Amino acid sequence: MTHEEIKESLSDYFDGQLGPAGTVEISAHVATCPECRAELDALSALSAGIKESLPAPAPAAMKERLLARARQENKPLFRSATVLAVAFAALILVLMAGVAAKKYMPTLFSSVQGMINGAASTLGVSGGNK
Ligand SMILES: [Zn+2]
Protein backbone atom coordinates (compact mmCIF):
# COMPACT_ATOMS: atom_id res chain seq x y z
CA MET A 1 0.00 0.00 0.00
CA THR A 2 1.15 3.52 -0.69
CA HIS A 3 1.18 6.29 1.90
CA GLU A 4 -2.01 7.75 0.36
CA GLU A 5 -3.80 4.38 0.41
CA ILE A 6 -2.82 3.84 3.99
CA LYS A 7 -3.98 7.33 4.92
CA GLU A 8 -7.35 6.52 3.37
CA SER A 9 -7.54 3.26 5.33
CA LEU A 10 -6.56 4.74 8.69
CA SER A 11 -10.11 5.07 10.01
CA ASP A 12 -10.89 1.47 9.04
CA TYR A 13 -7.62 0.46 10.67
CA PHE A 14 -8.57 2.40 13.79
CA ASP A 15 -12.01 0.74 13.86
CA GLY A 16 -10.34 -2.67 13.51
CA GLN A 17 -12.11 -3.33 10.24
CA LEU A 18 -9.02 -4.35 8.29
CA GLY A 19 -7.80 -7.93 7.95
CA PRO A 20 -4.66 -9.07 9.74
CA ALA A 21 -2.46 -8.38 6.69
CA GLY A 22 -3.72 -4.81 6.33
CA THR A 23 -3.45 -4.21 10.05
CA VAL A 24 0.16 -5.37 10.11
CA GLU A 25 1.05 -3.31 7.04
CA ILE A 26 -0.52 -0.14 8.40
CA SER A 27 0.99 -0.66 11.85
CA ALA A 28 4.41 -0.89 10.22
CA HIS A 29 3.80 2.20 8.08
CA VAL A 30 2.42 4.29 10.92
CA ALA A 31 5.50 3.46 12.99
CA THR A 32 7.69 5.09 10.36
CA CYS A 33 5.41 7.81 8.90
CA PRO A 34 4.85 10.90 11.09
CA GLU A 35 1.96 12.13 8.95
CA CYS A 36 -0.04 8.90 9.26
CA ARG A 37 0.95 8.70 12.92
CA ALA A 38 -0.54 12.18 13.46
CA GLU A 39 -3.65 11.22 11.51
CA LEU A 40 -4.12 8.16 13.68
CA ASP A 41 -3.59 10.22 16.84
CA ALA A 42 -6.26 12.66 15.60
CA LEU A 43 -8.67 9.79 15.02
CA SER A 44 -7.93 8.47 18.49
CA ALA A 45 -8.46 11.89 20.07
CA LEU A 46 -11.70 12.36 18.12
CA SER A 47 -12.97 8.98 19.23
CA ALA A 48 -12.08 9.68 22.85
CA GLY A 49 -13.82 13.05 22.61
CA ILE A 50 -16.96 11.44 21.22
CA LYS A 51 -16.92 8.81 23.94
CA GLU A 52 -16.46 11.45 26.64
CA SER A 53 -19.25 13.65 25.27
CA LEU A 54 -21.70 10.76 25.28
CA PRO A 55 -23.61 10.22 28.52
CA ALA A 56 -22.19 7.17 30.22
CA PRO A 57 -25.40 5.36 31.19
CA ALA A 58 -26.72 4.43 27.78
CA PRO A 59 -25.79 0.80 27.41
CA ALA A 60 -26.69 -0.96 24.19
CA ALA A 61 -28.48 -3.65 26.19
CA MET A 62 -30.85 -1.10 27.68
CA LYS A 63 -31.52 0.47 24.30
CA GLU A 64 -32.15 -2.97 22.83
CA ARG A 65 -34.51 -3.85 25.68
CA LEU A 66 -36.48 -0.63 25.19
CA LEU A 67 -36.66 -1.20 21.45
CA ALA A 68 -37.79 -4.80 21.95
CA ARG A 69 -40.42 -3.66 24.42
CA ALA A 70 -41.63 -0.96 22.05
CA ARG A 71 -41.88 -3.52 19.27
CA GLN A 72 -43.72 -6.05 21.44
CA GLU A 73 -46.08 -3.65 23.14
CA ASN A 74 -46.50 -1.14 20.38
CA LYS A 75 -50.20 -1.66 19.82
CA PRO A 76 -51.28 -2.47 23.39
CA LEU A 77 -49.23 0.46 24.66
CA PHE A 78 -50.88 2.79 22.18
CA ARG A 79 -54.30 1.42 22.99
CA SER A 80 -53.88 1.70 26.76
CA ALA A 81 -52.53 5.24 26.36
CA THR A 82 -55.56 6.16 24.29
CA VAL A 83 -57.94 4.54 26.75
CA LEU A 84 -56.21 6.38 29.56
CA ALA A 85 -56.50 9.71 27.72
CA VAL A 86 -60.18 9.13 26.97
CA ALA A 87 -60.86 8.06 30.56
CA PHE A 88 -59.06 11.13 31.82
CA ALA A 89 -61.02 13.42 29.51
CA ALA A 90 -64.26 11.74 30.59
CA LEU A 91 -63.31 12.18 34.24
CA ILE A 92 -62.64 15.88 33.67
CA LEU A 93 -65.96 16.25 31.89
CA VAL A 94 -67.79 14.47 34.70
CA LEU A 95 -66.09 16.63 37.32
CA MET A 96 -66.84 19.80 35.36
CA ALA A 97 -70.42 18.69 34.84
CA GLY A 98 -70.72 17.96 38.55
CA VAL A 99 -69.38 21.38 39.50
CA ALA A 100 -71.55 23.06 36.89
CA ALA A 101 -74.59 21.06 38.01
CA LYS A 102 -74.14 22.20 41.59
CA LYS A 103 -73.58 25.83 40.59
CA TYR A 104 -76.01 26.26 37.78
CA MET A 105 -78.46 23.46 38.37
CA PRO A 106 -81.61 25.19 37.14
CA THR A 107 -79.99 26.55 33.99
CA LEU A 108 -78.20 23.30 33.27
CA PHE A 109 -81.33 21.29 33.92
CA SER A 110 -83.43 23.38 31.58
CA SER A 111 -80.73 23.38 28.89
CA VAL A 112 -80.36 19.60 29.19
CA GLN A 113 -84.15 19.29 29.05
CA GLY A 114 -84.10 21.49 25.96
CA MET A 115 -81.47 19.23 24.39
CA ILE A 116 -83.52 16.16 25.22
CA ASN A 117 -86.68 17.77 23.84
CA GLY A 118 -84.80 18.78 20.74
CA ALA A 119 -83.42 15.27 20.27
CA ALA A 120 -86.85 13.78 20.93
CA SER A 121 -88.51 16.02 18.41
CA THR A 122 -85.77 15.26 15.89
CA LEU A 123 -86.35 11.57 16.46
CA GLY A 124 -90.09 12.10 16.27
CA VAL A 125 -89.79 13.90 12.95
CA SER A 126 -87.36 11.47 11.38
CA GLY A 127 -88.52 8.11 12.81
CA GLY A 128 -91.80 8.54 14.68
CA ASN A 129 -94.15 9.67 11.94
CA LYS A 130 -94.85 6.71 9.78
ZN1 LIG B 1 1.99 7.66 5.71
Which CATH number do you get for residue 41?
Answer: 1.10.10
From the CA of 20, how far away is ligand 1's center (Å)?
A: 18
Higher-scoring residue by pLDDT: 30, 107: 30
* Selection from 68, 9, 65 nearest residue 40 by Cα: 9
Cα dihedral 59→65→66→70 (10° resolution): 160
Q: Please report whether residue 43 resides in a domain.
A: yes
From the CA of 105, how far away is ligand 1's center (Å)?
A: 88
Q: Are 39 and 87 in the same domain?
A: no
Q: Are 43 and 90 in the same domain?
A: no
Ligand 1 ion: Cβ-proximal residues, 5 Å cutoff: 3, 33, 36
Given a cut of 80, whether residue 126 has pLDDT beyond it is no
Of the pLDDT bands very low, low, confident and very high (cuts 50, 70, 90), residue 104 is: low
Q: Are 108 and 81 in the same domain?
A: yes
Q: Are 71 and 27 in the same domain?
A: no
Q: Please report whether residue 62 resides in a domain.
A: no
Domain count, the chain: 2
Q: Are 118 and 71 in the same domain?
A: yes
Q: Please report whether residue 58 resides in a domain.
A: no
pTM for the whole structure: 0.40
Of the pLDDT bands very low, low, confident and very high (cuts 50, 70, 90), residue 6 is: very high
From the CA of 125, how far away is ligand 1's center (Å)?
A: 92
pLDDT tens digit sequence for 61-103: 777 887 887 777 666 656 677 788 888 888 888 888 877 766 7
Domain of residue 93, residue span: 67-128
| Res 86: pLDDT | 86
pLDDT tens digit sequence for 35-62: 999 999 999 998 888 777 776 666 677 7
Q: Are 28 and 80 in the same domain?
A: no
Q: Are 45 and 76 in the same domain?
A: no
Q: Please report whether residue 61 resides in a domain.
A: no
From the CA of 34, how far away is ligand 1's center (Å)?
A: 7
Q: What is the mean pLDDT of residues 20-49?
A: 93
